[in-house]
């Protein structure tokens, strides 16, 4: 079976220009390399009512077309099965730390910044029983490495931390890093195109894929869109969603054209379509610097 690329939005609000640009790039990478293209709604948490429907409508409006759509909320058995395998392999431990306790322990001298400090890694059975009575546990991976190097098509080798990250949260919800690895494999995804804010999570995901015996996909982390202040584009940066832009007289077709210009795939004002962009697209030619949207 041919491999797949995907776009995986979290329905926590409306998509903005940065999200739409990443979706366009994900489809261009997939189609131009003969991949299927899938949409995955990452709705395990942070769901805002109506956001999913609006996201899908906005993606369609700019010409994104997917071969298959799945929702993570309907795939819990897959994540549970992967977790069960890791538990059987003794790769998992219960963690009872609160966020505050982690922050306090992590600020101790010699703790690698940002890493889980390992507080619950070697609890005795008696200590675990005592803590279980007090509060629900998260499940963490017992990582055997400190960091890992992955290769990204655009940024090259990237080395990042692999700590004892969370696999299942205290509320029982599978963590993003587990779900994304399980889903990408289960869906035949071998090309992961996403915003480069996720590059720091990638070594954890590649490590987990290895433990689960799964192939590591090709990673393509694309530059983010910045707002007028120079920080990552956000909703507060004015008209940044299709609905907001439409009320300023900018149509979905205009937005696709703007995004194409930002990718050096069209001249300013030139009408374009996704099939036309797919024919023009050359991965080597995409701008490496972030694109700034000034409205």
What residues act catalytically? Answer: 235
**What minimum distance in Å lies between the beta carbon of 83 and ligand GLU?**
18
Report whether 99 belongs to an annotated binding site.
Answer: no
In terms of CB distance, is 11 or 227 closer to ligand GLU? Answer: 11
5 contacts ligand GLU (rule: CB under 6 A): no
Number of residues interacting with ligand GLU: please give it, by CB under 6 A.
7
258 lines the binding site for ligand GLU (CB under 6 A):
no
For residue 51, the minimal CB distance to ligand GLU (Å) is 11
For residues 173 and 198, which CB has a smaller minimum distance to ligand GLU in the complex?
A: 198
Task: Give CB contacts under 8 A, 24+ apart, made by 239-243.
Answer: 239/295, 240/16, 240/17, 240/18, 240/293, 241/14, 241/15, 241/16, 241/17, 241/58, 242/14, 242/15, 242/20, 242/58, 242/61, 242/62, 243/14, 243/54, 243/58
Binding mask 130-169 for ligand GLU (x = CB under 6 A): ----------------------------------------
Of 75 and 194, which CB lies nearer to ligand GLU in the complex structure? 194
d(CA 151, CA 184): 17
Binding of ligand GLU at residue 21 (CB under 6 A)?
Answer: no
Rounded to whole angstroms, the Cα distance separating 178 from 183 reads: 9
Residues 6+ apart with CB under 8 A from 244: 238
Helix 252-262 to helix 17-32 angle (10° resolution) is 70
180 binds ligand GLU (CB under 6 A): yes
Query: Can you tell me which of 194, 233, 255, 265 binds ligand GLU, judged by CB under 6 A?
Result: 194
- Binders of ligand GLU among 42-61, rule CB under 6 A? 42
Residue (of 157, 222, 217) closest to 195 by Cα position: 222
Nearer to ligand GLU, 121 or 235 (CB): 235
| 198 touches ligand GLU by CB under 6 A | yes
Q: Which of these, 265, 294, 291, lies nearest to 278 by C-alpha position?
A: 265
Q: Of 5-13, 28-36, 125-133, 263-271, which part binds ligand GLU (CB under 6 A)?
A: 5-13
Query: Which range, of 2-10, 88-96, 145-153, 161-169, touches ligand GLU by CB under 6 A?
Result: 2-10
Does residue 176 have a known ligand-binding role? Answer: yes
Going from the C-alpha of 293 to that of each of 59, 77, 142, 206, 246, the distances in angstroms are: 19, 41, 42, 32, 16
User: Does 9 sit near ligand GLU (CB under 6 A)?
Assistant: yes
Strands 68-71 and 147-152 come out as unpaired
Phi/psi of residue 253, nearest 5 degrees:
-65, -40
Decide: residue 46, CB within 10 A, 0-12 exposed, 13-18 middle, 19+ buried.
exposed
- Min dist CB 248 to ligand GLU, Å, is 25
Residues 283, 287, 290, CA angle at the centre, nearest 5°? 130
Smallest gap from Cβ 220 to ligand GLU, in A, equals 11
| Stretch near ligand GLU under the rule CB under 6 A, chosen from 6-14, 105-113, 132-140, 272-280 | 6-14
Binding site per annotation, positions for Zn(2+): 95, 97, 116, 120
Which residues of the shown chain bind ligand GLU in the complex (CB under 6 A)?
Answer: 8-10, 42, 180, 194, 198
């Amino acid at each position: 079976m041919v491999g797949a690329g995907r776009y995986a939005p979290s329905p926590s609000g409306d998509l903005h220009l940065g999200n739409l640009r990443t979706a366009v790039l994900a489809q261009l990478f997939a189609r131009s390399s003969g991949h299927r293209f899938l949409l995955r709604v990452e709705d395990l948490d942070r769901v805002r009512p109506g956001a999913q429907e609006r996201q899908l409508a906005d993606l369609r409006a700019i010409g994104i077309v997917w071969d298959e759509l799945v929702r993570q909320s309907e795939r819990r058995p897959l994540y549970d099965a992967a977790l069960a395998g890791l538990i059987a392999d003794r790769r998992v431990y219960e963690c009872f730390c609160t966020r505050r306790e982690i922050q306090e322990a992590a600020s101790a001298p010699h703790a690698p910044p940002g890493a889980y400090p390992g507080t619950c890694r070697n609890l005795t059975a008696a200590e675990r029983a005592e803590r279980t009575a007090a509060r629900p546990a998260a499940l963490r991976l017992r990582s055997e490495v400190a960091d890992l190097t992955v290769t990204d098509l655009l940024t090259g080798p990237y080395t990042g931390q692999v700590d004892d990250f969370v696999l299942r949260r205290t509320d029982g919800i599978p963590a993003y890093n587990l779900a994304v690895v399980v889903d990408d494999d289960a869906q035949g995804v071998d090309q992961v195109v996403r915003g480069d804010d996720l590059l720091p999570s990638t070594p954890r995901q590649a490590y987990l894929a290895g433990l689960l015996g799964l192939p590591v996909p090709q990673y393509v982390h694309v530059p983010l869109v910045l707002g007028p202040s120079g920080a990552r584009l956000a909703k507060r940066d004015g008209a940044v969603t299709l609905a907001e832009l439409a009320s300023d007289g900018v149509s979905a077709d205009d937005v696709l054209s703007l995004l194409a210009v930002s990718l050096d795939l069209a001249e300013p004002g030139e009408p374009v379509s996704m099939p036309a962009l797919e024919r023009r697209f050359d991965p080597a030619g995409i701008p490496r610097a972030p694109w700034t949207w000034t409205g």
